[in-house]
């Protein structure tokens, strides 16, 4: 039996476009002699569809599209397609209205439907809001073989691997009890740093524990804040990886399976991209590219300050959209240093995108005059400094609005965490590209871009970059102290702890949920910890109004972050 993993990039809700991708890949697989092709979880509507699932017309249209797929693919290949299935029992027993299901299409018909059993409701997942749980093990009869079918979370509950059980059932163990020859898993598993290592370790453990091979197909692409990295794999009974699809790219991976002996023949094993910098960079470029294109943008604009954050975002946008589609806007104030302007211009020259310079001194003076009466008798401070950021935000939004460009904001996770950012100023935009990237990681990514590995990765994404060029990020940007330049001689560490200390405190507080006492015990000063924690709490109202940000860590300020604003704790 020959299997194919169809790892592709769906657009949420685009039933026609997604089904056409399934049809095209099925036809391509049929020419390779494939018997069974797998597609990702909810592949017909894309994952996660969120409240689109509350639209009855979308649900009924999915059933129609499944029938169209069945009529348009070759009869001699079986295809597993993920879709949202109406729950006929919902009106009678108060169940959720849908199932997260898989349709088996063969010989022009939908021959079987299998339902997801474990519904995650944590972090970015909210499946219990929409779906009822499937009650029976998913067993697919194919020729003389029994194939166990699972959907995403069904695979993630091995109590031996995790050291605990999150659900009362283990669908994998139940399928093995039914003596299946092979287990397949249709997934839409979002990317976070290092997750592929965990996935493959878990798959290897389960395959060895149950003496059963596993084939895992994962979704690809950026959908809003979530990025799906692909990297679908096949694991033999001994837990060895015998096939791996490409990372962050569409792929059609074909694998020969000897069902009689439950063994695979050697297949393509792509590079898993286990280096953190390559992983993060690839994810961010894919996230920006898909967010722009799926929202109808072909061009982007960003504010170019000469600092490290806008340098990284400029490089990401260039790789994602091409230098010809990126505009960097310099908006110097009386406090902007000459080297910041030069650094910004040097960056744009290195990356090959156009720039515009719009000085804001006259606008600042106009604001000062307009506010002079109501501000009289007060000391100049943060309010006046923030006006500069808001002038810049308004200029960038005007350019984005006038020319139909996506405004990409340049704030990092450290700043967003403690509120070192300005509402309606540098927080303006349609996408926050690095809002889940801590400042220390911003620096390390920029240093990595200037290495031979980073320059080669960048070159493959934009052919206009000269590999002989000494640097992508100008060295002065990498070495100067970070500064918002909103007042004379300002640097970030006038207001914040050193970024290495700040980022460690934030990681312990946000990612590891450590208490004040635990963070202090780890070696941080009491006053610093208390101040940082207070800043994080006070900035919640800002984060609620921030643009969508691409998720690369387990704990991002996005759909999985649900903190109250008006609270004391």
| Nearest residue to 228 via CA among 5, 560, 457, 552 | 552
Distance, in Å, from the CA atom of 218 to the CA atom of 195, rounded to the nearest integer, reads 13
311: helix, strand or coil: helix
CB 4 within 8 A of CB 250: no
Give 170-199 as a 3 state SS string: CHHHHHHHCCCCEEEEEECCECCCCHHHHH
Cα–Cα distance, 464 to 462 (Å, whole number): 5
Q: Are 362 and 331 in contact (CB under 8 A)?
A: no
Which residues are within 8 A (CB) of 239 and not within 5 positions of it... i.e. 6 or more apart?
203, 204, 205, 207, 208
- Looking at the DSSP bridge assignments, the partners of residue 71 are none
Q: What torsion, rounded to 10 degrees, do the Cα atoms 426, 427, 433, 434 define? A: 80
Q: What is the enclosing helix (H) or strand (E) of 233?
A: strand 233-235
Q: Is 459 exposed, middle or buried (0-12, 13-18, 19+ CB in 10 A)?
A: middle
User: Is residue 294 within 8 Å of residue 321, measured between CB atoms?
Assistant: no
Query: Is-contact 251 232, C-beta < 8 A?
Result: yes
Helical packing angle, 276-294 and 308-321, nearest 10°: 60
The H or E element that residue 312 is part of is helix 308-321
The contacts of residue 124 (CB under 8 Å, 6+ apart) are 48, 190, 225, 226, 551, 558, 559, 560
Write out the catalytic residue numbers.
41, 116, 152
Q: Are strands 98-106 and 78-86 parallel, antiparallel or unpaired?
A: antiparallel
Positive or negative, the Cα torsion across 360, 366, 369, 374? negative
214-218 vs 220-223, strand pairing mode:
unpaired
DSSP 383-442: HHHHHHHHHHHHHHHHHHHHHTPEEEE---HHHHHHT-S-TTTTT-SSEETTTTS-HHHH
d(CA 526, CA 519): 9
Buried b (16+ CB within 10 A) or exposed e, 177-198: eeebbbbbbbbbbbbbbebbee
Which residue is listed with tokens 């959720």? 96
Q: Which of 260, 277, 217 minimizes the C-alpha distance to 447?
A: 277
Q: How far is CA 273 from CA 218, 226, 277, 453, in A?
A: 16, 19, 9, 12
Cβ proximity of 49 and 81 under 8 Å: no
């Amino acid at each position: 039996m020959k299997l194919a993993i169809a790892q592709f990039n769906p657009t949420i809700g685009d039933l026609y476009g997604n089904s056409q991708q399934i049809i095209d890949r099925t036809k391509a697989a049929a020419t390779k002699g494939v018997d069974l092709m797998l597609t990702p979880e909810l592949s017909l509507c894309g994952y996660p569809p969120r409240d689109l699932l509350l639209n009855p017309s979308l649900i009924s249209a999915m059933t129609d599209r499944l029938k169209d797929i069945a009529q348009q693919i070759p009869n001699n290949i079986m295809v597993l397609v993920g879709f949202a299935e109406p729950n006929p029992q919902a009106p009678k027993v108060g169940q959720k209205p849908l199932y997260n299901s898989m349709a088996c299409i063969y010989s022009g018909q939908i021959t079987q439907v299998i339902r997801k059993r474990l519904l995650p409701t944590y972090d970015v997942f909210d499946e219990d809001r929409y779906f009822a749980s499937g009650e029976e093990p998913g067993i697919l009869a194919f020729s003389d073989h029994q194939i166990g079918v699972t959907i995403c979370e069904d695979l993630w509950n091995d109590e031996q691997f995790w050291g605990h059980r999150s659900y009362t059932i283990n669908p994998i163990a139940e399928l093995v009890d039914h003596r299946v020859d092979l287990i397949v898993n249709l997934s839409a598993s979002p990317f976070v740093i290092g997750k592929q290592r965990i996935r493959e370790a878990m798959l290897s453990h389960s395959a060895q524990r149950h003496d059963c091979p596993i084939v895992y197909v994962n979704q690809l692409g950026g959908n809003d804040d979530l990025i799906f990295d692909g990297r679908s794999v096949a694991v033999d009974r001994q837990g060895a990886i015998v096939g791996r699809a490409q990372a962050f790219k569409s792929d059609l991976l074909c694998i020969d399976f000897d069902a009689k002996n439950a063994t695979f023949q050697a297949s393509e094993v792509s590079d898993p991209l286990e280096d953190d910098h390559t992983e993060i960079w690839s994810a961010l470029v894919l996230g920006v590219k898909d967010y722009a294109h799926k929202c109808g943008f072909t061009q982007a604009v960003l504010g170019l300050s000469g600092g490290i954050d806008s340098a990284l975002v400029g490089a990401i946008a260039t790789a994602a959209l091409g230098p010809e589609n990126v505009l960097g806007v310099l908006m110097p104030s009386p406090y902007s240093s000459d080297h910041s302007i030069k650094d910004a211009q040097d960056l744009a020259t290195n990356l090959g995108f156009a720039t515009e310079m719009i000085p804001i001194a006259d606008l600042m003076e106009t604001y000062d005059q307009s506010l002079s009466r109501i501000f009289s008798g007060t000391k100049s401070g943060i309010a006046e400094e923030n006006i500069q950021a808001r002038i810049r935000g308004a200029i960038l939004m005007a350019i984005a609005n006038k020319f139909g460009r996506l405004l990409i904001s340049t704030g990092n996770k450290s700043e967003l965490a403690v509120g070192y950012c300005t509402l309606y100023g540098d927080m303006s935009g349609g996408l926050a590209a690095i809002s889940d990237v801590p400042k220390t990681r911003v620096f390390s990514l920029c240093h990595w871009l200037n290495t031979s590995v980073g320059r080669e990765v960048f070159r493959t994404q934009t052919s206009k970059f000269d590999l002989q060029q000494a640097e992508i990020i100008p060295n002065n940007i990498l070495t100067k102290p970070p500064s918002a330049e909103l007042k004379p001689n300002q640097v970030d560490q006038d207001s914040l702890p050193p970024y290495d200390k700040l980022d460690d405190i934030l990681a312990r507080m946000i990612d590891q949920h450590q208490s004040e006492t635990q963070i202090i015990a780890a070696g941080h000063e009491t006053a610093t910890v208390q101040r940082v924690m207070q800043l994080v709490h006070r900035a919640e109202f800002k984060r609620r109004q921030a643009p969508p940000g691409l998720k690369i860590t387990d704990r991002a300020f996005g759909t999985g972050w649900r903190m109250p604003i008006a609270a004391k704790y």
